[in-house]
Amino acid sequence: MVVNTAFEHDVYLFHQGNLRYSYQLLGAHAVTQNGVEGIRFAVWAPNAVQVSVVGIFNNWDGREHQMVKLNDNGIWYTFIPGLEKGTIYKYEILTAHGHLSLKADPYAFSSELRPNTASVVYPLESYDWGDGEWMKHRQETNLYESPMSIYELHLGSWKYIEEEVFYTYREYADMVIPYVKELGYTHIELLPLTEHPFDRSWGYQATGYFAVTSRYGTPDDFRYFVDQCHQNGIGVILDWVPGHFCKDQHGLRRFDGEPLYEYSNPSKAEKTQWGTLTFDFGRNEVQSFLISNAIYWLKEYHLDGLRVDAVASMLYLDFGKEEGEWELNEYGGRENIEAVAFIKKMNEAIFEELPNVLMMAEESTSWPLVSAPTYIGGLGFNYKWNMGWMNDMLKYIEMDPIHRKYHHNLITFSLFYAFSENFVLPISHDEVVHGKKSLLNKMPGDYWQKFANLRAFLAFMYAHPGKKLLFMGSEFGQFDEWKDMEDLDWELLDYDSHASTLEFMKQIHKLYKDMPALWELDHEQEGFEWIDPHNYEQSVISFVRNSRSSNDQLVVVCNFTPQVHHDYKVGVPKVGSYKEVFTSDATHFGGSGQTNGRLLETIPEPWQGQNQHVSMTIPPLAVSFLKRTSTPKEENA
C-alpha cells in the first residue's frame, strides 16, 4: 500500500480520538489499485501477532491473505483483487497468547443473517436519494418550536410473515408509512437496527455497530425505508446503544486477544446487570469508533436523530452494581469521568457536522443539564426523556380513581421541573413488557372506564409541555402487553372500542399539530400557566397553554374521576366566547358524550386567580380543550 499524507493524517486523528469518519479509513471498501478492482481491508488490532482476511473465496484459510501491519499504529491492511460486493469474510486473528480467533469486522456495513456471523462487503456509494426537499426543510426548521409526536416501533413485532420470518425494509415502508402518516405522527423511532445475534435482545446487544441488521434486508433496503419516510413527511430516529456491547465470540470482546474496545479493568468493563461489556470511553480509538458510528447513521442513512440508550449506565460507575463490584473515581465519586467527557465530545462533534439533528438522551436520574450545551456545563444533548413524568403518571393513572385525590401531587409535580430540560414525554416499550401490562390494561375500572382512562391519559400527555413518544400498539388500545416474538393484535381493530381509540389518536394528532400552543413554547415557562392545580378532592386540574400568538391560547381541563360535573366554574385568562374544540369524551371516541356543544361565554366574576370564568360541563375521565373564538368587540360588530 502507498501510504499518502491524507492516510497518515486520518490515522493520526483516529489515534487522537478525533477521526469522525473512521468508517472510511477502516473496514472493507471497493477500490481500484494500479488499475485493478478489488476490496481494501483495514482493521485496528494493535495486540495481534498476525491478522488475515478469510472467507469462502480462500476456503477460510488464514495463510492465503495475510494482512500487513502499518508501522506501530496497530492498523492492519491488505488489498484483495477480484473481490466484490456481497463477499462474505471475517478476520482471523493470531493473539499474543498463540490462539486463533475469527472476528466479524467492527466496521462492516453489512452482516450475514443470523445465526451466521460473518461480515459482508457492501459499498454504500450507490443509493439515489429522493428526499432533498425534506433535508432542506429539516435544515430550516426550529426543532424546539415544532410539533413532535414519535411512534416507537419494533419492526419485527409490528407485523411479520411468521415467527422469525420478517418482511423487508422495503415491504415495511409500504405498510408502516401510510399507517403512521394517517395517524398523524411526525416521527418514527426504531428500536436498534445495528446487527445483533439474538432476536430477543431487540437490538440492544449489538455485534455489528456499522451494519444494519440483515433480518429485514440490505443497507440499501433500509435507505429506501428512510427515504420513503422523508418523502411522506415523517422523520426517522434510531435507538442507538453506545453504552455497552454483547460478549459473543465473533464480536468486539477481546478483539485482538486483549481488552480493546472494553475497559481492561473488570469492575469498569462488566455490565453485570445485563451481562454485557462497557466501552472504554477513555480510549481515543474507541472514541473515534463511537463518534464515527453516530455520524455514520445520521449521514449515510439520512437519519433525523438518535435516541441514546441507557445514558445513566454510562455516567455512573455503580450503575446496576452491588457494593464491592465497582470502584470510586480518582476524585472519590461514582461518576465515570471518562464517559462524561466522551458524551460531551460526541455531541459537540455531531452538532458541528449535522447542526439540526436530534440527540435524545434516555437518562433516568437527576443529572443536571443533560440537554444543555457543553459550553455552559451541559452534556450537549438537545433532548432528554422525562422519566420522572412517565413514572409519576403511570403510578397515578393505574390507581382506582377513588384513591387519586390522595396522590394528586403525582400529576402536578412535573411542572416544577418541566422547563429545566428539553423534554420528551415517553411511553416506551419498556413500560409495556415483562409483566408491566399494556397501557390500556394498566387502566383501572370496567371495560368502558379502561378506555376512558386511556384517552384521558393520552390527552393529558398531549396537553402537557414536552414532545411526545408512544410505543406501537398503544394507539389502538392493545390489551396484551408487548409480545416481542409475535406481531401486534391487529384483529382488535374489528371491535368498536379499539377502532374508536385509533380514531381518537388521529384526531388528537390533528389538534396537536393545528394548535401551536401545544408545542411552540414547550421549553419555555411562558408556554404554561396553572389555572387550578389544587382541586385534589375532585381530581380536576386546569391550565393554559400559550403560543407566541395570544390568539392561539388553549385552556385545558382534566377530570381523572368518573364523576360528571355540571356548571363547573373554570377561570379563564381573557374575556370572550370559548369553544370546546376537543374532548376525549366525544361519543365517536367511545366516550359518554358529556360535551359542551354551545359557546361558553365568560362571566365577569373573578375565579381561580382569573378576572373572569366560564361555566361548563366537566365530562368523566376526560380532558377538554377550550379555545377563545371571539372577543366582546367582535361579537358586537
- DSSP states of 288-341: HHHHHHHHHHHHHS--SEEEETTHHHHHBTTTT--TTS----TTSSSB-HHHHH
321 alpha-carbon distance from chain centroid: 25
Residue 541 contacts residue 558 (beta carbons within 8 Å) = yes
Are 575 and 552 spatial neighbours (Cβ–Cβ below 8 Å)?
no
Q: For this structure, is 362 an active site residue? A: yes
Angle 487-238-457 from CA coordinates, rounded to 5°: 65
Extents of the domains making up the chain = 147-207+281-306+314-518, 526-636
Active-site pick, 220, 362, 520, 522? 362
> How high is the pLDDT of residue 303?
98
- The overall average pLDDT reported for the chain is 96
CATH hierarchy code of domain 526-636: 2.60.40.1180
What is the identity of the amino acid at 321? Answer: K
Residue 583, beta-bridge partner list = 624
List the catalytic residue out of 92, 309, 392, 475: 309
| Consecutive H or E run containing 424 | strand 423-427
Query: How confident is the model at residue 632, as a pLDDT?
Result: 63
Please give the C-alpha separations between residue 21 and each of 14, 24, 93, 151, 522, in angstroms, as whole numbers.
9, 6, 25, 30, 35
Q: For 501, which DSSP code?
A: H
Task: State yes or no: is 309 an active-site residue.
Answer: yes
Pairing of strands 600-601, 577-583: antiparallel
Asked if 189 and 237 count as a contact pair (C-beta separation under 8 A), the reply is yes
The residue to which cell 472467507 is assigned: 55
- Predicted local distance difference test score (pLDDT) of residue 633: 57
Return the C-alpha torsion angle 171, 173, 177, 180, nearest 10: 80
pLDDT of residue 637: 45
147-207+281-306+314-518: CATH topology: TIM Barrel (3.20.20)
CA atoms within 13 A on the CB side of 290: 29
In this predicted structure, what is the pLDDT of residue 173? Answer: 98
Residues of the chain below pLDDT 70: 1-4, 632-637
Q: Which amino acid is at 524?
A: E
Residue 575's region, left for phi above 0, alpha for psi from -120 to 50, else beta, is beta
Position 54 scores a pLDDT of: 98
Distance CA 481, CA 617 (A): 35
